[in-house]
Amino acid sequence: MNLSLIDWSIVVICLSVLVFGVSLSKKYVRSVADFLSAGRTAGRYMITVSQGMAAIGAITIVGQWEMNYVAGFALRWWEFIMAVVLLGITVSGWVLYRFRQTRTLTIAQFLEIRYSRNFRIFAGILAFISGLLNFGIFPAVSAKFLIYFVGAPLSFPLFGMEVSTFPVVMASFLLVSLYFVFTGGQIAVIITEFIQGVFSNFTFLVIIVFCLFFVNWDQIFLAVSQAPENASLINPYKTSEVPDFNFWYFLINVVGVVYVKLSWQGSQGFNSSAKSAHEAKMGEVLGNMRDIPKWLFLVFIPIIAYTILHNPDFSSVTANVNATLATISNHEVQNQLRIPLVLSQILPVGVMGAFMAVMLMATIGTHNSYMHSWGSIFIQDVIMPFRKKPFEPKQHLNILRASILGVTIFIFMFSLLFPMTDYIFLYFAITAAIFVGGSGAVIIGGLYWKKGTTAAAWSALIVGSVISVGGVILQQIYPDFPINGQYFWGIAMGVSTLVYIVVSLLGKGEDFNMDKMLHRGIYAIKEEMIIVDSVPIRGLKVLGVNKEFTTGDKVIYIAAYAWTFIWIAVFIIGTIVNFYSGIPDTTWMAFWKVFVTLNLFVSFFIIVWFTIGGVRDFKDMLHRLKTMVRDHTDDGSVLRK
């Protein structure tokens, strides 16, 4: 075992805190809306910290490390452009604000209101299948990480038989996740994810600081300089030979960020948990800053691992890591475990335990969120539309829990039997595209275009799924097929959008009543309109600022814009200089050193700020859940006259 008694004690304490949070949530689940959307009571800091943690399970960390070990700092350079796209999405409330205005509990419920009940059922089934296939590898990757990181034996004797450790570890954390979701639904998910988010961000920074003392920048430069000339880890303009995770991978991601907003429903419970549309929008804005410590950790740690494995100063660590990797026959599993094995060799006592606690909590947390989402989607968007009579509240909660149990059993069996043949993030891209390849056009068109038709929605979703399923089949038949999962996703998005527009324009139906769906004008719900008396600064109106914004909200907006435009300016200047005279690798390394140092400093400030704001939101959330009157007809059903 690689963990000491102190390390295991840290793990036990962290899990005990989560169990306490779950037990606290149990008494507040009094309606279906509480179970599905935390009663719509969450504030901006609870939303942003919790949702950020739900999106960064152990598999996400391993997948990001796998990608950044290949791409290095270079991919991060191109992501500076992404910052503008993300900022535009968040400050405008792109898709999220309008979806929250609909007051629907799931995307498919919105699709029934906007299009038809039959389309809702089809979309729900497609989203469910796509989500299960995508979710199916989570337990396997997480379990393998936990086994190899702690140095656990691959099997152990039990009742005279030799039992594999792998399924036992999977079953253990799946059962814990199942208990959490069964007990408190989305309330438990938000509370536990918030606790995990605060602890994880502090741990990320501690590990980064330790690594900066363990490895110096001269050693990093010596190691990364060994990369092939056109597969640089530090010079973004010398990456033409980087496999898979190159400029084109990034470009498709940029389009995808805009296109699939709210399409992917692995954490759909968060989409409707905010106490108002404005709080949901502000949570998105804060999310850009929330991700600074996370992305620093996900980019910098692979560089440290690459340095240790390619610099002779660390030959003993390299020998130990390679000896363990040699015992693993699957090349893709080797890629997943390379960086965790490096950390298991270098982290000191205490830090090792804290990181193990982070990964275990991240595993449980992401499974909480995904089990809750896909189990809920199956009932809300596949089963309920067939029923003429709504479920009774208690019956509804029981059937939701039964569905979540079914999801848990499926992903356990899928992880046990499915062989990984690709990078994690390329597998994610192609399986998610079964639904999101066409759903982006359907959701955006439905929220923003009154002329979008039901026929167009059917056409776009079918075309997107056919392209993506075709990609899955081709990659299973031909493992070396030249078009990877990312490219199939890009093709599906482009073709589906074109189909939606063309079919809508060819239709002759009446314009859809957008005001009624979005509760605007004569359909407005006054309780959810937070009007501030002060008049907003005229110049900020262009940023989406309106009368709902307090002075503090405006400061947050300005800070988000300022941070983004600093790096955009750096990107523009760097591109111009590189075009005219070229930038040597020594300068690039100096730049990345400044980048890491500055982001590390900002991360400390952000973590303290978000923790204080989250504690305040937590108190307000519990007060609302304790005192508000429940509407038991608010269960995701669509009443039609």
DSSP 4: -
d(CA 364, CA 189): 10
Query: Is the per-residue pLDDT at 15 higher than 80?
Result: yes
Neighbours of 276 (CB within 10 A): 19
Q: For residue 221, what are its two tokens?
A: 């430069």
CA gap 123, 586 in Å, rounded: 52
CB 183 within 8 A of CB 23: yes
**C-beta of residue 73 within 8 angstroms of C-beta of residue 246:** no
Residue entry with tokens 């988000």? 560
What is the average per-residue pLDDT within 81-88?
A: 73
Phi, psi for 234 (deg, rounded to 5): -125, -25
What's CA 96's distance to the chain center, in Å?
Answer: 15
Helix (H, G, I), strand (E, B) or coil at 155: strand
Q: Which domain holds residue 382?
A: 5-530+584-627
Q: Which residue has the higher pLDDT, 189 or 315?
A: 315
Q: Are 62 and 298 in contact (CB under 8 A)?
A: no
Q: So what's the pLDDT on residue 635?
A: 57
Q: Is residue 94 part of a domain?
A: yes
**How large is the C-alpha radius of gyration of the chain?**
24
Burial bucket for residue 585 (CB in 10 Å: 0-12, 13-18, 19+): middle
- 101 closest CA partner among 262, 315, 307, 319: 262
Q: Report the SS3 class of residue 156.
A: strand
C-alpha–C-alpha distance, residues 493 and 589, integer Å: 36
Task: Determine the pLDDT at residue 12.
Answer: 92
Q: Does residue 539 lie within any of the structural domains?
A: no
pLDDT at 546: 61
Residue 510 has pLDDT above 70, yes or no: yes
Please name the residues in contact with 563: beta carbons below 8 A apart, sequence gap of 6 or more. 288, 289, 602
The string of pLDDT tens digits covering residues 18-36 is 888 888 887 887 777 777 7
* Model confidence pLDDT, tens digit, residues 600-610: 999 999 999 99
CA–CA distance, 286 with 282 (Å, rounded to integer) = 6
Residues 6+ apart with CB under 8 A from 527: none
Cβ burial of 307 (10 Å; 0-12, 13-18, 19+) is: buried
Residues 6+ apart with CB under 8 A from 257: 82, 85, 86, 89
CATH code of the domain covering residue 462? 1.20.1730.10
Q: What percent of the chain has pLDDT over 90?
A: 16
Q: pLDDT averaged over the chain? A: 82
Element (H, E) at 88: helix 73-92
Q: 399-420: per-residue pLDDT in tens?
A: 888 998 999 999 999 888 877 6
Give a yes or no: residue 507 inside a domain: yes
The whole-model pTM stands at 0.75
Assigned domain for 540 exists: no
Q: What is the pLDDT of residue 243?
A: 59
Position 543 in a domain: no
Query: Could you give the CA distance from residue 146 to residue 142 in angstroms, rounded to a whole number?
Result: 6
Number of domains in the chain: 1
CA distances to 39, 144, 352, 542 from 321, rounded to whole Å, are 48, 15, 16, 53
What per-residue confidence (pLDDT) applies to 276? Answer: 77
Residues 6+ apart with CB under 8 A from 465: 126, 130, 434, 435, 437, 438, 492
Of residues 518 and 211, the one with the higher pLDDT is 211
Q: Cβ contacts of residue 160 below 8 Å, gap of 6+?
A: none
Task: Report which of 226, 208, 218, 240 is spatially closest to residue 74, judged by C-alpha positions.
Answer: 240
What is the structure's pLDDT at 539? 45
Give, in order, the Cα–Cα distances in Å from 218 to each of 221, 224, 232, 442, 589.
Answer: 5, 10, 17, 51, 9
Residue 149 banded pLDDT, cuts 50, 70, 90: confident
Would 93 be classed as within a structural domain?
yes
* pLDDT score, position 305: 92
Q: Provide the β-strand partners of residue 256.
A: none
Q: Flag whether 565 is in a domain.
A: no
Q: How far is CA 307 from CA 262, 313, 331, in A?
A: 38, 9, 21
**pLDDT score at 335:** 81
User: Does any domain span residue 352?
Assistant: yes
Residue 252: name the closest of 483, 509, 556 by CA.
483
Distance in angstroms (rounded) separating the CA atoms of residues 562 and 368: 35
With 50 as the cut, is the pLDDT of residue 542 above it?
A: no
pLDDT at 1: 60
Under the banding of pLDDT at 50, 70 and 90, the label for residue 112 is: confident
Task: Report the share of the chain in percent with pLDDT over 70.
Answer: 89
285, pLDDT greater than 80: no
> What pairs with residue 157 in β-bridges?
162
- 637/234: higher pLDDT: 234
* Range name among 138-147, 206-215, 245-254, 452-461 with the lowest pLDDT average: 245-254
